[in-house]
Chain A
Amino acid sequence: MSNKAARNLFIYGSLFFFVIFLALTFDTMGKLDKRAPEITEEVNAGKMVWHKYDCIGCHTIFGNGSYFAPDMTKTAEKKPKEYLKKFLMDPKAVNPQASMPKLGITSEEADKLIAFLGWTSKVDTNGWPPKPILATAAGVAGRELTGGQKLYQSLGCSNCHMVNGIGGTTAPELTNVGSKRDKAWLTGHFKNPSAYVPNSAMPAFGNLSEKELNDLTDYMLTLKQEVKK
């Protein structure tokens, strides 16, 4: 191959691939709006808050960012809004172990940010992040679950709380909760958390039936394993 031929191959080949890339980009732009909910003014205002505080400097969103703190794509789907709002405004007041600093996010800014995260959680991301294989399988293998255990799963408690190493770290660990609290405390706390724990970021579960509250409390009372630090 002569130098001139190699040069022409480089120039025209690059242009060729760039044109295909442009065509795919054009097609993609036409399809994006159908793959996500409508962007309201509040969602857009939340995106501006996201940029203002340089959230991407620690977090990832759609898996892109700084890998220092959890991915935010589906957060609004997993964590209660009440919790998110309190956490955003003063992380360590909600979770003393939190690494996130208090940035001065105002109440309105927190609302906007939560609206923005609600939007990202509904974007069609081709199934990302995938459901963890083992945690998904653990609930169905072998034994029958009690009513309380089923509720614990269906209410998504493990998004924030941890039991025996599985679950979130944003709320207190429940591995040993059965030896720390009694039945009355637990039931009352489900109905109105902040009456028992000042400043609690946990939403109230007063809408559960008496039987459901009982089942969940009974399950909590079985959790009596010593936590070794």
Chain B
Amino acid sequence: MAINKVVGSFDEAVADIADGAMLHIGGFGGPGECPSYLIAAVARRKPRGLTVTGNLGGWGVAMIAALRERLAAMLPFPDDFYDLGLLVEQGCVRKGILAFPAAPGNAEFPFELLLREGKAELELLGQGSLAERIRAARAGIAAFYTPVGVGTVAAEGKEIREFGGVPHVLEHALRADFSLIRAYKADRWGNLIYHGTGRTMNATMAGAARVTLAEVDEVVDLGELDPECVVTPGIYVERVVVRPKQPKRWDERS
């Protein structure tokens, strides 16, 4: 029996994401590097009470449509860009561990609305501690100390200890049930490469969960990925799903 981590559909890939699960959501905030089809499949399944980690609180469907129009002359948004905001809008999210939960300026993410209604909980972190806490989970490290955040809301209620006269805050690893990530190419062993700034939180989150799901543009034969250039070794990846060639709406099966 040959190893084959490629799963036939997004619906199948997310079928065991249950109520109350903790999810790392890859991407950064741009329209390219987001695991849109994995997010859409979870939104169709509609689990409740999820804890999510990621950079952005998420725009949601309506704001992405507005941005697509507004930024058309600057940055083309793909038709099939769906972000964490969709999961918030579908009522799936109970807690966010996020670095960018508040939209810029006067805009408001769906998650902010939820917070204001008292229907969600936020743990605000800088991107560095967020990324390192996720990396720590991948590496089996329970917790680490960093000076970043001491004296601010990011360190509230956390242990403080001095090293070399500088106060550090103890940050615990964030291990999720599932990591939802976007990559460029995979092979059937789950080796991954990324494209440009698409690496970002996606490569960070690979392996930081019980199950890592990678949404990719293409699966290539074993040996086609240059072993010198594999970014995420397949040992960190449990499932690979290929994006459809033609864009689909989030509520269509994929």
The answer to whether A binds B is no
Binding site for A on B (CB under 8 A): none
Binding site for B on A (CB under 8 A): none
